[in-house]
Amino acid sequence: MKKSLLSIASIILISISGCEKFVDPAFIQEKAAQGYKSSTDKLVSETAYFGINLAGGEFGKPPGIYGKDYTYPNAGELDYYSSKGLKLIRLPFKWERLQPVLNGELDSTEVARIKYVVNEADERDMVILLDCHNYGRRNINGTNYIIGSSMVPVQSFGDFWTRMAEVFKTKNAKKSSIWGYDIMNEPHDMLPSVKWFDIAQEAINGIRNTDLNTNIIVSGDGWSGAWVFGIPGSKSDILKNLADPSDKLIYQAHVYFDKDASGTYKKSYDGEAAYPNKGVDRVKVFVDWLKANNKKGFVGEYGVPSNDSRWLLVLDNFLKYLQENGVNGTYWAGGPWWGNYHLSIEPSNGADKPQMEIVERYLKVIDFTQVPELTTNPISAITLNSAMSGGTITSEGDSKVFARGVCWSLIQNPTVSDNKTTDDKHSDSFISSITGLMPSTTYYVRSYATNKAGTAYGNNLSFRTKSILPVVTTSSVSDITANTAKGGGTITEEGVAPVTERGICWSLTDAPTTSDNKMLNGTGLVTYTSIMDGLTASTTYYVRAFATNSSGTSYGNSVKFVTRGATVTDIDGNVYNTVTIGTQVWMVENLKVTRYRNGDPIANVTGSVSWKGLTTGAYCWYNNDAVNKDTYGALYNWHAVNDSRNIAPAGWHVATNAERATLDSYLGGSAAAGGKLKEEGIVHWTTPNTGATNASGFTGVPAGYRISGTGAFSSLGLQNYIWSSTQNDASTAFRRQLQYNSANTPTSISDKRSGFSVRLIKD
């Protein structure tokens, strides 16, 4: 795109293996009909993820001031795009900032900033494309000099990439956080005496001196225009003769749909002479060039405005064509500093942009790899009486699974040819119903799943029988309250969805009925939580759960009881419930206090610009809307957490990172603790709310967060970041994370300016 400060890239290359005997034939036929390719297609390279350009590192004239003139994405921004399935980040930067002096050492501070992004991406199973965003030039004392001039020798460009490869090189060809080196964004109008071909070869040679494993991405000459590749002998066409000893070159084209292909979209849809297949027509010459020359490629830049729905159709047709031909790409652009930029796909006030809906349609990478027979989970002597007519298999699999299901039979070794169900909807878990099971019969069940890399996974299976019993589970609960300070309890009833009427009943007799004290919930959700207050210490209570679906059928439900500890009150008068987990006592709600312990107010900062520049304590409500206070609590920067005036009431404090680790250990480790800490159901959490059981009683809610670099709000319903009191360095501190699509609770570091939730632990 012909623009002075902007540029774009993105990549998706699909790797698809041949199908073998255990693949569901219907699944293959369905995907083949949708245009998916096999690994024999010459356009397909090793697996890469669909991506997004996260702009900011290329902003401003170099060197500039970090945080004022330019920025890099933080963990919160990566979370949003990861949650959408955009797993490749094209990360633009300026050559001058990484290497301030030609042929000199790389700047350690700037390298550290990029490594931070790389490490955060790695934690999220994302990969990085390092993008030198200089348009074939280098700025020296305010003047841009073309590579190949006396001021910027070609050898200096090779020196830069040699040093970059030494720092970021891929040591293991099978696993790396660095997807590739994009050696130069949109070279154009180069010197007649020094061809872009020779400059690119110099960079390739420098990289291969130290790194033989990482992809090298080469843009076409002439602003990476797709059409230039189709001209025999052109500056882009001759790039097919570049030499790479590792054979890992990938060619990049940029495609926009406005009249001059600049990506500026200055006029209306009609004024830009647009039509539904304009993108297809523009990119076809590049796709044809890849096929003719047996090369790997991707479309590095494309994007549309959202001011006319017809642009979305152009984008849809364009992406469909790329997918059908085994070439994918990344959207331009995301990043926190775009403001009202018309191509930006950065969410606005927590809402997705219209372009995201189109992009999400093309995030699937299907791999027709054999589905081996995996975990056999025999279920013996399933005692089904005559009133029980079926069963449910719940399989919680690995994330981003593309072919999966359950199979069952009367023999010990069921295969996928047995009765089964499949699901390729990319959710983290699925539920399959198996009907017609016979009473007093032993059944054997196996789950199977294949991820986008073709790896097959065994899944954990749980079996739950459906009943039509009119009177359901009676659960006696003795000594509900251990002492007089505990004033109540929580019943969590897990139903067999969907139900229209349900609740709990309890009494002092051993045969409670629905006429006893009860709570009803008609929302139709699978789970709900009811609070029973006024329970007396050292007394035995009997509890029954009941539920009725829309057809009037009653279901038996599992019931669990969690005692609610003594309450605690903050200086504002907010009352919080507590729960004991192991030897620790935690608040059951996010903190929402607005004053320090001594009565001084915590600054309520609403403005985005003001928030991102703070070095003192502050709080806000999500979206600056107090309606979120009671459910989600407040968002605090770490400076408020660390203020000597104390954010916690007497006898309480913000947990250290070590105390957080102790909590995880009580709950079986960080890989499982997240599910046990999250509130069940999808009243607040976005589906699928993977693994959520709230077995701890912690009741974590998805409060979202405030981004440090922009002051924008993000991920309500998706994430909950919780500060620890432990500092990492002068600008970052440790935090924990609960997320809608995982049962993990990873620990990481974040900018102290971020707005996160706070949970208190008793001294």
> What positions carry a catalytic annotation?
186, 301
Exposed / middle / buried, residue 13 (Cβ in 10 Å: 0-12, 13-18, 19+):
buried
Number of other residues whose CB lies within 10 A of the CB of residue 114: 21
Distance CA 348, CA 27 (A): 37
Task: Find all residues with CB under 8 Å of 644, minimum gap 6, and list them.
Answer: none
Number of other residues whose CB lies within 10 A of the CB of residue 476: 11
Exposed / middle / buried, residue 147 (Cβ in 10 Å: 0-12, 13-18, 19+):
buried
Q: Does residue 281 contact residue 361 with C-beta atoms inside 8 Å?
A: no
Q: For 191-204, give the DSSP string.
A: -TTS-HHHHHHHHH
The H-or-E segment that residue 626 falls in is none
Distance CA 37, CA 68 (A): 45
Residue 321, classed as helix, strand or coil, is helix
Strand partners of residue 522: none
Distance CA 327, CA 322 (A): 5
Q: Does residue 394 contact residue 693 with C-beta atoms inside 8 Å?
A: no
**What are the angstrom distances between the C-alpha of 525 and each of 462, 682, 687, 695?**
20, 8, 12, 19
Alpha helix (H) residue ranges in 445-509: none
Q: Is the peptide bond before 63 cis (omega within 30 degrees of 0)?
A: yes
Give phi and psi for 173, each to the nearest 5. -65, -15
Between the two ends of the chain, the Cα-to-Cα distance in Å is 58
Length of the chain: 763
Distance CA 201, CA 81 (A): 33
Which of 530, 511, 510 is CA-nearest to residue 520?
Answer: 530
Residue with tokens 């926009």: 256
Q: Is the peptide bond before 498 cis (omega within 30 degrees of 0)?
A: yes
Q: Does residue 24 contact residue 150 with C-beta atoms inside 8 Å?
A: no
